[in-house]
């Protein structure tokens, strides 16, 4: 029998309460993404989380953020899973197109939450932002000091979007991100407070 590995990283709110988990595919105990094609990784993650282990066992009934490749979005794979159980996370290498916009609108109309992963702002993404609920900023790739105007701009044009700060490493980053309008957080800073 094949061993099943699913890593989970908590997603917390401003009070450091766990609101969701990001589920990550792993081949073993090493905490790194394996050298495996994206469609296969997500497919194995979904089958393990939902069918082998049970999603509620992994997330305690909280939503699971799951990365979807463009192929899996086009094949409507998110629709196999109940919208209350997953947040459809759009990978940063997916470019906007009419087909992608239509898929995101379709998922949204069916009750799914949409998150844009590792987001770097460009106005070409506005149509995807309009379909999204959450924008995730990687604070190593896009430090907080570079985000003030972007956050203000996005918040004024898309007031219902929630901002998620990924890779929060220090209390200072956490506090600054809260003041800037971030509502959700992931990162090593929270690891010691969850033990």
| pTM metric for this prediction | 0.84
Q: Examine the pLDDT at 30 and tell me if it is beyond 70.
A: no
Q: Examine the pLDDT at 88 and tell me if it is beyond 80.
A: yes
Domain membership of residue 1 (yes or no) is: no
Q: Give residue-wise pLDDT tens across range 45-74.
A: 555 545 456 677 778 889 999 988 898 899
Determine the Cα–Cα distance for residues 44 and 38; give it in Å rounded to an integer. 10
Domain membership of residue 102 (yes or no) is: yes
User: Which of 23-27, 57-61, 94-98, 171-175 is the least confident region?
Assistant: 23-27
How many domains are contained in the chain? 1
At residue 58, φ and ψ (nearest 5 deg) are: -80, -40
Token representation of residue 49: 């989380």
Q: Domain limits at 23?
A: 6-194
CA 92 to chain centre: 11
Domain membership of residue 58 (yes or no) is: yes
CATH code at position 111: 3.20.20.450
Tokens 């086009």 locate to 74
Tokens 């917390």 locate to 12
Domain membership of residue 62 (yes or no) is: yes
Query: Can you give the pLDDT at residue 190?
Result: 83
Q: For the residues 27-41, what does the mean pLDDT come to?
A: 48
Q: Give residues with Cβ within 8 angstroms of 127, minimum separation 6.
A: 96, 101
Closest CA to 43 of 20, 62, 63, 23: 23
Determine the Cα–Cα distance for residues 13 and 183; give it in Å rounded to an integer. 6
Query: Can you give the pLDDT at residue 57?
Result: 77
Q: For the residues 158-184, what does the mean pLDDT come to?
A: 95
Note whether 116 and 136 are within 8 A (CB): yes
Domain membership of residue 77 (yes or no) is: yes
Domain membership of residue 83 (yes or no) is: yes
């Amino acid at each position: 029998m094949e061993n099943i590995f699913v890593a989970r990283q908590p997603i917390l709110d401003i009070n450091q309460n766990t609101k969701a988990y990001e589920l990550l595919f792993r081949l073993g105990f090493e905490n790194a993404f394996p050298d495996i094609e994206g469609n296969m990784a997500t497919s194995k993650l979904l089958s393990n989380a939902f069918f082998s282990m049970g999603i509620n066992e992994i997330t305690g009934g909280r939503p699971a953020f799951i990365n979807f490749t463009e192929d899996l979005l086009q094949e409507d794979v998110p629709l196999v899973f109940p919208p209350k159980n997953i947040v459809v996370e759009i990978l940063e290498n997916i470019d906007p197109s009419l087909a992608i916009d239509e898929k995101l609108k379709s998922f949204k109309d069916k009750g799914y939450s949409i998150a844009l992963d590792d987001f770097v702002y460009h106005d070409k993404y506005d149509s995807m932002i309009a379909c999204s609920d959450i924008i995730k900023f990687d604070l190593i790739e896009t430090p907080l000091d570079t985000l003030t105007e972007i956050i203000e701009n996005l918040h004024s044009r898309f007031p219902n979007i929630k901002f998620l700060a990924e890779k929060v490493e220090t209390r200072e980053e956490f506090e600054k991100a809260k003041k800037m309008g971030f509502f959700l957080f992931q990162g090593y800073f929270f690891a010691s407070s969850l033990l």
